[in-house]
Chains A and B, each alone.
Chain A
Amino acid sequence: MSVLVYTENWDGKFKKLSFELVSYASGVAKMAGTSVTAVSIGKVDDTELKKLGNYGASKIVAVTNEKLSTLDNQAYASVISEIALKENSGVIIISNNNAGKAIAPRLSVRLKAGVGSGVSRLPLNLNPFTVYKRTYSGNAFAHLVIKSDIKILTLAQNSFDLAETPGNSCMIENFSLTVDEAHLKTVVKDVQKQTGKILLTDADIVVSGGRGMKSPDNWSPLTELASLLGAATACSRPVSDEGWRPHDEHTGQTGKIIAPNLYIAVGISGATQHLAGISSSKYIVAINTDKDAPIFEAAQYGIVGDAMKILPKLVEAVKAKK
């Protein structure tokens, strides 16, 4: 039995998310008294692959077939399940991000393996295998028992602390396989990518604006504060619906679900649907004119007042600290 973890790469590089996954897998392996094997698909050099060893992977299976450069859910699930069987994996860990959500359910059917999705803690119990899982958009948590022999867990991003394992040795195995092109059915026609912007799902700090910002023209102190803090910017649903801010900034139940260390909600009242997207943040700051706004119930720090007056003062205060 081993714990298998799928580590996605971005142009040949791993990021914090990858190391969180390996740290989590190591935690599970420790509970089960076994070791961690990481699977990487795509062109990643050995120096980068070895970084996974720092978080407890003892073996890395590297698949470098060029035909797998596009995420084809079917092909990826097939490769990972083949490796899982070869490695005799009892638990498979995948991120709960876009790629993970595409791959995990397909793996589940292939391996007849039950899935605990969006976990943020180590399993509560190994026998019966029980995980702690977010349900009802964060309004309830479930103890979910996975009854199948193989278990798949998808880990919520930013929810598990990195844990380095100094002195861990790790070997790399190149895994070659033939990919039948007839099976690759996803053809990419166009890619639009923003560069140089901190991704909302990766960010440690997020500054977010709501209807209380009053107009799309009022955003500059908010974006300035975000850039001073090295934060990503976000917004509430009404703001993206109005077209004040791009849709990919919408956080909330139907938008992005995030868990930064710090979430600063400016002029956001905190409707249930909004809280569903941000309630896993470690610290929430609320700035709102309405002292009864529900956001203050979710927040650890609050300022009751006008964002337009408060934001410039916060900008000055951060500048003064630098």
Chain B
Amino acid sequence: MKILVCISNVPDTTTKIKFAEGNASVDTAGIQWVINPWDELSLTRALELKDNPANGVNSVTVVHVGTAASEPTIRKALAIGADDAIRVNADSSDAFFVAAQIAEVVRKEQFDIIMCGIESSDYNGSLVGGMISEFLGIPSVSAVSDLKIENGQPLLTREIDGGKEVVSVSVPLVAIVQKGIAKEPRIAAMRGIMMARTKPVKLVEPMAVESLTQVVVFEKPAPRAACKYIDAENPAQLIDLLQNEAKVI
């Protein structure tokens, strides 16, 4: 069984976002780039599945759509333990474009399980995984918090309102994963970092796909009103304010 893990290259989640070009883009100066947090957990789970020979996972490949600037993020994924990587050499203009590129990679290379994080921490779109599956005409399961392989078949736990559902789906499939899929992201060990230098990164040129959306301008969220402090000795005043001023209780 072959697993493909889709990874996105995003600013570290503690970054203070600043804009450039008249607020039309994000100022990348000084940004620390990381693997999108959900993709990192997704990669961790893929590697855990490969660790147990009973699961029959032969390889874990990572795919990324981005320019040469995102090479360090790909190397990091290899250092964590992915066997090889594919980079589609293009600026990721929108989810539709990215998903179309990854679907093309899957058509050529054939994977059984394609894993995507539920969203990227930059565009918060929650789109790429579902789009890949539709481009390929294969099933997808979203909000997946556990992925096992039993008797060669994936068994997935997905979150539903107020609970969980365990579903089985035949391969190939796209698993769109969220919190719970792995406990902690796996960290690259020194040996992994050394090995990552020689692992193959295949470069693929993009197909011509038109993006469907475009950000024209960014803005900062509206500032909140200053905090009104209530004396710790008299918390009952808070209840008064919530009832009579904010009118929320």
Contact = CB atoms under 8 A, between A and B. Distances in A.
B215 interface: yes
B190 interface: no
Contacts of A108: 95-96, 127, 130-131, 134, 212
B130 A314 contact: no
A248 B162 CA distance: 9
Contacts of B74: none
Contacts of A310: 232, 235
Contact of B246 (A139, A140, A262): A262
A108 B169 CA distance: 22
B175 to A, nearest CB: 12
Contacts of B249: 205, 229, 262, 318
A43 interface: no
A177 interface: no
Nearest to B160: A98
B107 to A, nearest CB: 14
Interface stretch (A19-27, A29-37, A56-64, A253-261): A253-261
Contacts of A104: 126-127, 130
Contacts of B38: 254
Interface residues of B, number: 84
Interface stretch (B44-52, B65-73, B79-87, B220-228): B220-228
Nearest to A146: B213
Contact of A135 (B122, B230, B231, B238): B122
A227 B176 CA distance: 34
B112 interface: no
A301 B219 contact: no
B242 interface: yes
B140 interface: yes
Nearest to A74: B139
Q: In the complex, which range does the number of interface residues on chain A fall in? A: 35 or more
B125 interface: yes
Interface string B206-249: 00000111111111110011011111100110111111001011
A314 B235 contact: yes
A262 B169 contact: no
Contacts of A114: 94, 96, 212-213
A73 B133 contact: yes
Interface string B1-28: 0000000000101101101000000100
A50 interface: no
Contacts of B129: 105
A301 B165 contact: no
Contact of B13 (A106, A145, A272): A272
Contacts of A73: 130, 133, 139-142
B113 to A, nearest CB: 14
Contacts of B126: 96, 101, 104-105, 117-118, 154
Given A105-B129, A142-B215, A301 B17 contact: no
B106 to A, nearest CB: 14
Contacts of A109: 96, 99, 131, 134-135
Interface stretch (A85-93, A164-172, A189-197): A189-197
A192 B164 contact: yes
Contact of A115 (B127, B216, B219, B224): B127
A118 B214 contact: no
Interface in A240-266: 247-248, 250, 253-255, 261-262
A143 B213 contact: no
A113 B212 contact: yes
B162 A194 contact: yes
Interface in B149-205: 155, 158-170, 173, 176, 178-180
Contacts of A186: 139, 141, 167, 169
Interface in A294-322: 296-306, 309-310, 313-314, 316-318, 320-321
A309 B11 CA distance: 40
Interface of A: 10, 70-74, 77, 96-98, 101-106, 108-110, 112-118, 130, 133-148, 154, 185-195, 197, 199, 201-202, 204-205, 229, 247-248, 250, 253-255, 261-262, 271-273, 276, 279, 282-286, 296-306, 309-310, 313-314, 316-318, 320-321
Top 5 A-B pairs ranked by shortest CB distance? A105-B130, A305-B232, A114-B212, A193-B163, A102-B142
Interface of B: 11, 13-14, 16-17, 19, 26, 37-38, 94-96, 99, 118, 121-131, 133-135, 137, 139-143, 145, 155, 158-170, 173, 176, 178-180, 211-221, 224-225, 227-232, 235-236, 238-243, 246, 248-249
22 contacts: A70-B167, A73-B130, A98-B160, A109-B135, A110-B134, A117-B124, A130-B216, A135-B215, A135-B218, A145-B215, A185-B170, A188-B166, A193-B160, A204-B248, A229-B249, A253-B121, A298-B224, A306-B232, A309-B232, A310-B232, A316-B236, A321-B243
Given A136-B17, A189-B167, A192-B163, 16 more contacts: A74-B137, A117-B124, A142-B218, A145-B214, A185-B173, A187-B169, A191-B166, A193-B160, A297-B224, A298-B224, A300-B227, A303-B232, A309-B232, A317-B236, A317-B240, A320-B236
